Amino acid sequence: MLSDNMTIQLNKQLNREFYSSYLYLAMSAWCTHAGYKGAASWFIIQHEEERVHAFKIYNYLLGQGSKIELHDVKNPPIEYTSLLECFQNSLAHEQKMSHSLNELCDLSNQEKDHATYGFLQWFVQEQVEEESSVLDIVSKLKLISDGNGIFLLDSQLLQRQAGTQEVK
């Protein structure tokens, strides 16, 4: 059984995951409008993954007999000045999510809630992969100085399949 505080904090994380899904859907829409078909596809897959993350927490809470609290999802940014800015915002968001998950791990340790700590380890590892993937894209975008390079990278992003993080 989860403590009241752990239930509250997991519900907050659940809602952050739903916001993440919404954020990536908005980023995909911007990329589509800007003509970045590959990046749009990449962000749609990211949107779907974040929704899966939310449901993992949702199911964990229900399985622990805890109440679900869904909050309003705030409007994500919908305009970017460049593909680089879009991915930089994605990286900053992933770093923020990593921080919140680390705080949940700290809380589970403080409460000696070993089951929740174990549950959260999947998310911690997922965040390492997600930050690395987005950082790699940001680094590549910084190296690119012309439209041809962005076109090639966008074509590579289109190759991402659901469940994969790597861009070569």
| pLDDT computed for residue 163 by the predictor | 63
The predicted model gives 104-127 an average pLDDT of 98
If pLDDT is split at 50, 70 and 90, which confidence band does 147 have? low
If pLDDT is split at 50, 70 and 90, which confidence band does 166 have? very low
Going along the chain from its start, the domains and CATH numbers come out as 4-157 (1.20.1260.10)
For 81, which DSSP code? S
CA distances 17 to 12, 23, 123, 142, Å, are 9, 10, 11, 28
Report residue 68 as tokens. Answer: 């679900």
pLDDT at 126 over 70: yes
Task: Please state, in angstroms and rounded to a whole number, the distance separating the CA atoms of residues 144 and 141.
Answer: 5
Which amino acid appears at position 65 of this protein?
A: G
Report residue 91 as tokens. Answer: 């990286």
Task: Please state, in angstroms and rounded to a whole number, the distance separating the CA atoms of residues 33 and 40.
Answer: 9
User: Which pLDDT tens digit goes with each residue over 71-86?
Assistant: 999 999 999 999 999 9
| pLDDT computed for residue 167 by the predictor | 38
83 versus 165: which is more confidently predicted?
83
CA distances 66 to 7, 109, 136, 148, Å, are 7, 19, 38, 52
| pLDDT computed for residue 168 by the predictor | 38
Percent of residues, the chain, with pLDDT higher than 90: 82
**Whole-structure pTM value:** 0.89
User: Which pLDDT tens digit goes with each residue over 40-56?
Assistant: 999 999 999 999 999 99
If pLDDT is split at 50, 70 and 90, which confidence band does 153 have? confident
